[in-house]
Structure 1
Amino acid sequence: MSENRKIAKEIIDAIGGEENISSVAHCATRLRIMVNDKEKIDQPKVEKIDKVKGAFFNSGQFQIILGTGTVNRIFEEVEKLGINGSTKADQSKQAGKSGNAFQRAIRSLGDVFVPIIPVLVATGLFMGLRGLVMQEKVLALFGLVPGDISENFLLFTEILTDTAFIFLPALIAWSAFRVFGGTPIIGLILGLMLVSPSLPNAWGVAGGGVEPLYFLNFIPVVGYQGSVLPAFFAGILGAKLERVIRKRVPEALDLIITPFLTLLIMITVALFVIGPIFHIVEEFILEGTLAVLGLPIGLGGLLIGLFHQVIVVTGVHHIFNLLEIQLLENFGSNPFNAIITASIAAQGGAALAVGLKTKSAKLKALALPSSLSAFLGITEPAIFGVNLRYVKPFFMGIIGGAVGGFFASIFNLEASGMSITVIPGSLLYLNGQILLYLVVNIIAISVAFALTWLFGYSDKEKEDVSA
């Protein structure tokens, strides 16, 4: 029996056997299991299984942290053992009734935005590369000055950096229809209607060079290039409307009537009601975010760095995606990224201290790879597998994140994109800030490491937790 097959079998046995499993799915780092009876789970037994970095119950799922790559192989072995697999979206629907209304809303926000993030990451990297190429010192290496760059080349770079944000409402509406049970292609068309060239361009209106259209002399109608909430709520309502219409339309007419009525009703509601209302809401959210980031003497960075990983533990951190998108769409830069990077790096520093200080071979094998995972931007193994288990390292990591966030604000660090952090995130600071970015991360890691080494962990804590 292969090692991964053995681990898969041990996991199944520890959570109550095949009869206690409703379905299994996985994300980038975690095996997500829907169980029939939560009481049958032997969590301590699960956590002692080789390659398991932690386990917890969240959003109606028992989630086992295995790490990038490993989780795919274990999932394959679980399926081979006869356990029904399902998609993460299917499990989200099953778990949708768990938690309070706020948690369910944030979870839905995450389900919609997660599939979109890769293209926004790519766009951010394109922005960083353009910033690097266009620096005078870099051009000078090739005997060039900014004036030597052709307009056609600049146009090409704009295609790479602007397209995702111009058509962002289409991506969001597509994903919202997918999550809430509508037909994704209808959502895509609805989103494209929100950025139709026939509408006044949102950026042109914001710059004062273009006038919005006014209906009934008081309802402003513009395109929603780069907007998030109008497309998000139009997608939710559109998916639900489509399902209502489909139930009432004869099957012979479904192909014609359902998309026709869905698009007609939803673009009318989106342009005249949802759009104007939620565009104002977006502006308030953005102003609130800027107010926190703009607090004097780095206080905003300190507060965000202090609380970010606490919010991650609660599972409602997907709301930050909305904030980062708004910052990039409005200013072309993202000061939020460097601050949350510091909080992520600090948790890795705390886990690294535990791994180097402990004499337990098993804990070393857990903590050291978990710290590396954090330095690559994924903190779940470090948080749930090490730091929260021994409590003090988590709080030392929080302090390190606050200090790092403080310096990120003091240095006015601004990323060119979003969603990648720590080591991979360095690609977002090719705008001349790479050295300061590295300094902030080193500070965050060093503070968390030192505090954990001195006050946050000893093998006595391990014995207390194991007892």
Structure 2
Amino acid sequence: MGRFKQDVIDLLELVGGAENISAISHCVTRMRFVLRDPGLADVEKIEMLRSVKGTFTQAGQFQVIIGNEVDDFYNEFISASGLEGVSKEETKKAAVKNQNVLQHVMTSIAEIFAPLIPAIIVGGLILGFRNCIDSLLLFENGTKTLVQISQFWAGADSFLWLIGEAVFQTGIPVGICWSVSKKMGTTQMLGIVLGLTLTSGQLLNAYSVAGTPADQIPMWNFGIAQVRMIGYQAQVIPAILAALTLGYLERFFRKIFPAAISMIAVPICSLIFAVMAAHFVLGPIGWTLGSAISSVVYAGITGPARVVFGAIFGFFYAPLVITGLHHMSNAIDLQLIADYGGTMLWPMIALSNIAQGSAVLGMAALQRRNARAQETNIPSIISCYLGVTEPAMFGVNLKYVFPFICAMVGSGVAGVVCTATNTTANAIGVGGLPGILSIKPLSMGSFAICMLISVIVPFVLTLVLGSHRGIGTDTEKTASGPDLSDAVAQMR
């Protein structure tokens, strides 16, 4: 046993013993438990362990935040418990029995988009950088951009569009089809091919459909019927529907074809029927559904009551993260970008993340003489300002409750200003301070103001309320209100 010996022994006991653990794994910062009886876990005592930065339950898993040393902690825990660790995928499968229908749907959506997020963030940052060099009039008395005065940067701007276009036009449908195939356990290469058929150069680009007269849209003419040859670049719902159809078709054909011809018959039948369904039926339906959803959201963000929308969304986004419903925002953001060339939803998400980090900043100021608390506070602030909110939310803000509320208030105020100024992002980016690079140039000034609000309001409110409650003094209590862990568990 190593330096985590006592904490490992205590954690094993506090989760209900080895017999209460049906599966265990870990990720970058967290231990992931699937407990046979989640009620046996003593959350309050677990969070008092020195190595533990916080806990939360999500997607049927009881997760304990350890930090960057989770590898060593996990190895010691496995050794002490006598259990065998499993992969994250196996842990997720074991956790399904602890989920209700809504949680299962949200988890599935999250698992589809999670592998795509790194590419989407990179694409967003690249588009943001291109906007800075080809749209901001910063040179020759504010009359020219960097691209206009430099051949090098003009070439760089053109080159970087190669990546941006690949991510946000071709990459989204192809990535979704691959990810769904992976999740369903079907042939991933068929998913990739299906995605490519949705974005083929033979088709009329989705961005050109609106400006093309109906009689000039290319058609497949089958004699008995004609089908429009339209691409689904950047479209989310058509790709999901097509990929699900491919997956179920492949599962069906695997059952009915004998093994002798399965290798040939299953792929060809699955792919042909899936592509037909995608272009003849599902694509148009998915396009209509996606456009309807984005139209409703866009109307809320830009309509006469947009500041009310901003206040509500900004205030309640953080609680959505607790329930897992926030995963829907990825699909909505991508649809808004496809339909309107930008999203006004994502800036508020980034502001909510910043607000959570700012509330922890207030706690760090209050607890500046508490070295134990700072071990959690400081890393949480850094990760939150870089877009990772879990340590801040679950390790600090939800533990004390009032910083979480202060962050919600700050995020709500920032949401009002954000919608009032029509602050728009080109793409999904890093959900923290670097997120400004993904904002349209004309909106960077207003977003910077919103960022200041998201920093100052939660910080000041946390300082005031924390001082009133004695945080940072000898009389400090771990929580100054009702224990939120039970409420959070009920929400999930």
Which position in structure 2 is the counterpart of 1:234? Answer: 242
Alignment partner of 1:387 out of 389, 397, 411: 397
Q: Is the 8 A contact 1:125 1:416 kept in 2?
A: no
10 and 206 in structure 1: CA distance in 2 versus 1, 3 angstrom threshold: farther
Distance 1:152 1:58 in 2: 46
Distance 2:18 2:332 in 1: 41
The answer to which of 142-151 and 371-380 deviates more is 142-151
- Tell me the number of residue pairs that the alignment of Structure 1 and Structure 2 aligns: 466
Query: Aligned to 2:449, what secondary structure does the other structure show?
Result: helix
1:328 aligns with 2:337: yes
371 and 248 in structure 1: CA distance in 2 versus 1, 3 angstrom threshold: same
Which position in structure 2 is the counterpart of 1:458? Answer: 470
Query: Aligned to 1:377, what secondary structure does the other structure show?
Result: coil
Alignment partner of 1:181 out of 173, 182, 185: 185
Which position in structure 1 is the counterpart of 2:384? Answer: 374
252 and 208 in structure 1: CA distance in 2 versus 1, 3 angstrom threshold: same
Alignment partner of 1:269 out of 265, 272, 277: 277
Distance 1:386 1:154 in 2: 42
Query: 1:72-122 CA deviation, whole Å, 9 max, x = no partner?
Result: 453454456654333333322222344332322121111000001111111
Which position in structure 2 is the counterpart of 1:350? Answer: 359
Which position in structure 2 is the counterpart of 1:43? Answer: 43
Which position in structure 2 is the counterpart of 1:224? Answer: 232
Pairing 1:66-215 to 2, within 5 Å after superposition: 66-67=66-67, 69-78=68-77, 83-135=83-135, 137=137, 146=148, 149=151, 155-167=158-170, 168-208=172-212, 211=217, 213=219
Query: Aligned to 1:206, what secondary structure does the other structure show?
Result: coil
Distance 2:157 2:370 in 1: 56
* TM-score, normalised by the number of residues in structure 2: 0.85
Structure 1, unaligned stretches of length 5 or more?
none
* TM-score, normalised by the number of residues in structure 1: 0.89
Report the CA distance between 1:445 and its aligned residue.
2.0
Q: Is the 8 A contact 2:137 2:145 kept in 1?
A: no
Query: Aligned to 2:360, what secondary structure does the other structure show?
Result: helix
Identity fraction in percent: 31
Distance 2:101 2:147 in 1: 55
Distance 1:5 1:189 in 2: 50
Distance 1:173 1:266 in 2: 11
The one-letter code sitting in structure 1 at the alignment partner of 2:181 is: F
Query: Aligned to 1:159, what secondary structure does the other structure show?
Result: helix
1:298 aligns with 2:298: no
Distance 1:415 1:364 in 2: 34
Q: Is the 8 A contact 1:301 1:405 kept in 2?
A: yes
The one-letter code sitting in structure 1 at the alignment partner of 2:362 is: A
Which position in structure 1 is the counterpart of 2:372? Answer: 362
The one-letter code sitting in structure 1 at the alignment partner of 2:207 is: W
Distance 1:348 1:145 in 2: 36
Q: Is the 8 A contact 2:125 2:429 kept in 1?
A: no
Cα RMSD, aligned residues only: 3.0
Report the CA distance between 1:143 and its aligned residue.
9.8
Q: Is the 8 A contact 2:133 2:157 kept in 1?
A: no
The one-letter code sitting in structure 2 at the alignment partner of 1:243 is: R
The one-letter code sitting in structure 1 at the alignment partner of 2:307 is: G
The answer to which of 398-407 and 7-16 deviates more is 7-16
The answer to which of 393-402 and 24-33 deviates more is 24-33
439 and 144 in structure 1: CA distance in 2 versus 1, 3 angstrom threshold: closer
145 and 230 in structure 1: CA distance in 2 versus 1, 3 angstrom threshold: closer
Pairing 1:369-448 to 2, within 5 Å after superposition: 369-429=379-439, 431=441, 433-448=443-458
Q: Is the 8 A contact 1:54 1:381 kept in 2?
A: yes
The one-letter code sitting in structure 2 at the alignment partner of 1:412 is: N
Query: Aligned to 2:441, what secondary structure does the other structure show?
Result: coil
135 and 65 in structure 1: CA distance in 2 versus 1, 3 angstrom threshold: same
Report the CA distance between 1:163 and its aligned residue.
0.8
155 and 72 in structure 1: CA distance in 2 versus 1, 3 angstrom threshold: same
Distance 1:458 1:291 in 2: 45
Pairing 1:302-321 to 2, within 5 Å after superposition: 302-321=311-330
The answer to which of 121-130 and 148-157 deviates more is 148-157
Q: Is the 8 A contact 1:46 1:52 kept in 2?
A: yes
Distance 1:446 1:189 in 2: 49
Report the CA distance between 1:130 and its aligned residue.
1.1
Which position in structure 1 is the counterpart of 2:488? Answer: none
Distance 1:376 1:76 in 2: 28
Distance 2:261 2:218 in 1: 37
Q: Is the 8 A contact 2:355 2:408 kept in 1?
A: yes
Distance 1:299 1:186 in 2: 45
Distance 1:286 1:49 in 2: 45
The one-letter code sitting in structure 2 at the alignment partner of 1:310 is: P
Report the CA distance between 1:317 and its aligned residue.
0.8
Query: 1:286-309 CA deviation, whole Å, 9 max, x = no partner?
Result: 101101211336333222211111
Q: Is the 8 A contact 1:115 1:175 kept in 2?
A: yes
Report the CA distance between 1:330 and its aligned residue.
3.1
Alignment partner of 1:259 out of 264, 267, 270: 267
Q: Is the 8 A contact 1:199 1:223 kept in 2?
A: yes
Report the CA distance between 1:439 and its aligned residue.
2.7
